[in-house]
Amino acid sequence: MYPTTPTPAHVVLQAQRSDVHTVLVDGHVAKYRHRLRGIDLRAVRHHVENTVEHLRTQLGESEWHKGMNPEVPRAKTIEQSRFGIEQPPVGL
């Protein structure tokens, strides 16, 4: 038996952010020893908050609420989709 996912892909897919020691972006160290470098998180947070506030203002509270809390359609089983009924026929 062999893995169905190529090993490098499996390692990447299973990695958590705490597994990343160092990140280079365009030749610059963005993360080292598990800590971000050269990033003003307070400024980033402020920018995101301003963007959210702008969107809320443009959309209005009702549309914002609908967008943030969308209706989730009830999932159907394959049998329900195939037969268009709640329960599949007996013996299938």
- Band (51; pLDDT cuts 50, 70, 90): very high
DSSP letter, residue 26: T
The residue whose two tokens read 């329900």 is: 80
How many CA atoms lie within 13 Å of 7's alpha carbon, on the beta-carbon side? 1
Q: Does the predicted model carry a pTM greater than 0.75?
A: no
- Band (92; pLDDT cuts 50, 70, 90): low
- Band (88; pLDDT cuts 50, 70, 90): low
Instruction: Say yes or no to pLDDT of 69 above 60.
Output: yes
For residues 32 and 24, give the distance between their C-alpha atoms in angstroms, rounded to a whole number.
9
- The DSSP H or E segment spanning 12 is helix 7-14
* H-helix segments, 15-74: 41-59, 61-68
